[in-house]
Amino acid sequence: MAKPTDQNDIHERGEVIAPETSGELTHELTLYAEPVAHVGNFPITNAMVTSFAAVIIIALIAVVLRMRLREIPRGIQNFFEAMLEGALNLCDQVTNNRRISLKVFPLALSVFLFILVNNWLGLLPLGGIGVIENGDHGPAFVPFLRSGTADINTTIALAIMAVVAANIFGILSIGIWKTFNKYVNVKALGGIFVRLQKDPTVLVVAPVTFFVGLLELIGEFAKVASLSFRLFGNIFAGEVLLLAMSAIFAYALPIPFIFLEIFVGLIQALIFSILVLVYFTIAASDHDEHENHEDKKTIHV
């Protein structure tokens, strides 16, 4: 019968014996992005690595296309010009204004490409490349790549950027006063004293209009939540689904779900970019001009 090993002897020989509960390597998909490296006290997460990779890939494609531009397009330039023309026509269908489309299209296309590449990078069969860290329940595997859009921090940052940029675009398009009055409709309250004698219903309409403006302000925060959680929820759920299918049967079973997630990644990128176009179009619309047009039409009738 072997004599039990004394812990002091182990330390003297410099050996490390892992506890029995930590003998199995685990890989759990967490809601938060896992750190894979540190720069000082700043953690570098796997979602951040994927986002950097997406930016580098898009930049390289742009540089290659720029170097291969010809006055008479051919080959890959033909393909991308056809894609851009189709995307711009789709943008026109959302904005109904070519002038707005030309201004917003570069941002919407950049957001679309960034989200799409991020979504698809998370599906690459590189999840087996990573680091092993000691967790609470033993050694845990942390992959180097995780879709950046499967991290709530990335999607919230994209949503805040889109909403803030839309309001800035509205200020540049119709002016800061009209943009302010969309949310805090001081003009509606001030109009009570001017229009009271001609239209007594203004006593009811003006407060309602002012309250609707406050709801619009709350809606701006709701846009951030809607954009960020929709994108994060769909992409993260897809990663959980693929992980579950791989755990059941690692070879043939996940393949149909991978193609499904490729399609979902494309649709989610398209939805996000179209919503950005919608927000920019709404921000650039002048409600006062529309109301004046309706008033003139009523008087004419």
pLDDT by residue (tens digit) across 128-180? 454 555 555 555 555 667 788 888 889 999 999 999 999 999 999 888 888 88
Looking at residue 64, its pLDDT comes to 86
Name the pTM for this structure: 0.76
Indicate whether 15 belongs to any domain. no
> How many domains are there within the chain?
1
Indicate whether 2 belongs to any domain. no
Residue 28, φ and ψ in degrees, nearest 5: -110, 130
Looking at residue 3, its pLDDT comes to 46
Indicate whether 74 belongs to any domain. yes
Looking at residue 296, its pLDDT comes to 45
Indicate whether 7 belongs to any domain. no
- SS3 category, 140: strand
Looking at residue 273, its pLDDT comes to 94
Indicate whether 301 belongs to any domain. no
Residues spanned by the domain of 120:
25-290
Give the C-alpha separation, 250 to 218, whole Å: 46
Q: Which residues contact 98 (CB under 8 A, 6 or more apart)?
A: 92
Give the C-alpha separation, 108 to 6, whole Å: 65
> Position 21: which residue type?
T
| Predicted confidence (pLDDT) at residue 21 exceeds the cutoff of 90 | no
Give the C-alpha separation, 268 to 84, whole Å: 19
| Predicted confidence (pLDDT) at residue 7 exceeds the cutoff of 50 | no
Indicate whether 259 belongs to any domain. yes
Residue at token pair 């938060």: 32
Choose the weakest-confidence range: 51-55, 63-67, 144-148, 282-286. Answer: 144-148
pLDDT by residue (tens digit) across 204-218? 666 777 777 788 888
Dihedral of CA atoms 216, 219, 220, 221 in degrees, nearest 10, equals 140
Looking at residue 71, its pLDDT comes to 75
Mean per-residue pLDDT, 290-296: 47
Indicate whether 57 belongs to any domain. yes
Looking at residue 275, its pLDDT comes to 94
Nearest to 208 by CA among 175, 195, 174, 216: 216
Model confidence at 272, pLDDT cuts 50, 70, 90, reads very high
Give the C-alpha separation, 279 to 104, whole Å: 10
Nearest to 232 by CA among 133, 119, 145, 128: 119
Indicate whether 300 belongs to any domain. no
